[in-house]
Amino acid sequence: MKLDNSVALVTGANRGIGKSFVHALLAAGAKKVYAAARSLDTLAGVGIDPRIVAVKLDVTREDDFRDLAATASDVTLLVNNAGVLDFGSVLEAQLQAFERNFATNFYGVLASSRTFAPIIEKNGGGAIVNMHTVLALASMPGFGVYNASKAAAWSLTQSLRAGLASRGVAVHAVFPGPVDTEMLKGVPVPKTSPDDVAKAVLQGVSRGDEDIFPDPMSASLYQAWRNDHKAVEKQFAAM
Ligand SMILES: NC(=O)c1ccc[n+]([C@@H]2O[C@H](COP(=O)([O-])OP(=O)(O)OC[C@H]3O[C@@H](n4cnc5c(N)ncnc54)[C@H](OP(=O)(O)O)[C@@H]3O)[C@@H](O)[C@H]2O)c1
């Protein structure tokens, strides 16, 4: 998709990769970016630009989607970025942790895509970008709750892609490795900057890449997974 003159909506735009998406979209020529956050107050730090429109969206709230569909009726590119991460293994984590991760990482993406796919189609076509993780390909047990929600969202992306192909809406899956944001604060691994990830994702969208591995770690992990997915599963299981 051509990003020049696009009208984008970014969920979870107040910080982390979402905030980087807002600026990368403007740099790529978007004519308007709806920066969506659970609380409008948190969007103050995103910056001042006449092309940024602050909007309220908690992706777990149906009424927020209803209101936003009326306001943001010119969207051509949806970035489903909002996400939460609860650490914990599937054998020990509280069920509430599963509910919280699925509410945002799976049902949030579902509600957002169902709301905006018809709007994008009506506006002449465009794209949906869903932020997954390399852990959707193979699970690390300590991230079991989060991984399950992201793997389910990856399956959702494939179904959306098939369903929307003939309606002019491309659906992109993004599988980042570790990124330097609040989400992985305190986890001592090499991380990519959120600005670099956002830029690489938009380059992938411009090229029409369906599946995007936006950093060196995820790109090499993808090659290893293609060569021998069982070896990657065993490697992650031991971490
Ligand atoms: N960081 C990584 O290493 C990494 C790696 C792979 C994939 N990802 C994915 O990339 C995306 C962005 O992550 P990040 O690293 O930027 O995380 P982050 O810094 O923790 O930011 C998460 C964003 O999601 C928002 N959010 C959470 N629940 C929401 C809800 N119910 N409704 C609307 N917004 C909500 C947060 O808003 P509040 O400020 O209101 O909480 C915040 O803006 C996520 O989907 C994440 O899973 C991240």
Tens-level pLDDT at each residue, the chain (239 residues): 999 999 999 999 999 999 999 999 999 999 999 999 999 999 999 999 999 999 999 999 999 999 999 999 999 999 999 999 999 999 999 999 999 999 999 999 999 999 999 999 999 999 999 999 999 999 999 999 999 999 999 999 999 999 999 999 999 999 999 999 999 999 999 999 999 999 999 999 999 999 999 999 999 999 999 999 999 999 999 98
Is the CB of 181 inside a 6 Å radius of any atom of ligand 1? yes
* Largest pairwise CA distance in the chain: 49
| Ligand 1 pocket, residue 59 CB under 6 Å | yes
> What is the pLDDT at residue 226?
97
Strands (DSSP E) along 24-123, which ranges?
A: 32-37, 52-56, 77-80
Alpha-carbon 104 to chain mean position: 11
pLDDT at 234: 96
Q: Which of 15, 46, 128 to mutate to test the pocket of ligand 1 (most atoms within 8 A of CB)?
A: 15
In the chain, how many domains are there? 1
- Hey, what are 89's tokens? 């293994």
End-to-end CA gap in the chain: 38
Phi, psi (deg, nearest 5) at residue 232: -65, -40
Whole domain around residue 178: which residue ranges? 7-237
- Return the SS3 of 169: strand
pLDDT at 236: 94
- Of residues 187, 159, 202, 173, the one with CA closest to residue 20: 202
Is 81 a pocket residue for ligand 1 (Cβ < 6 Å)?
Answer: yes
Residue 107 bears catalytic tag = no
Say how many Å lie between the CA of residue 160 and the centre of ligand 1. 21
Which pTM does this prediction carry?
0.98
For position 187, what pLDDT does the model report? Answer: 94
Half-sphere exposure of 180 (CA within 13 A, CB side): 8
Supply the angle between the helices 16-27 and 194-207 in degrees, to the nearest 10.
Answer: 50
Q: Is residue 1 a part of any domain in this protein? A: no
Q: What is the distance in A from the centroid of ligand 1 to the CA of 74?
A: 24
* HSE-up (13 A, CA, CB side) for residue 127: 24
Of 149, 157, 155, 191, the residue nearest 79 (C-alpha):
157
Rounded Cα distance between 125 and 171, Å, is 11
194 assigned to some structural domain: yes
Q: Is the CB of 84 inside a 6 Å radius of any atom of ligand 1? A: yes
Contacts of 124 (CB under 8 A, 6+ apart): 76, 168
Provide the pLDDT for residue 49. 96
Could you tell me the CATH number of the domain that includes residue 219? Answer: 3.40.50.720
Residue 82 lies in a domain: yes
Say if 2 falls within a structural domain.
Answer: no
Q: What is the pLDDT of residue 233?
A: 96
Given this model, what pLDDT does residue 29 score?
Answer: 98
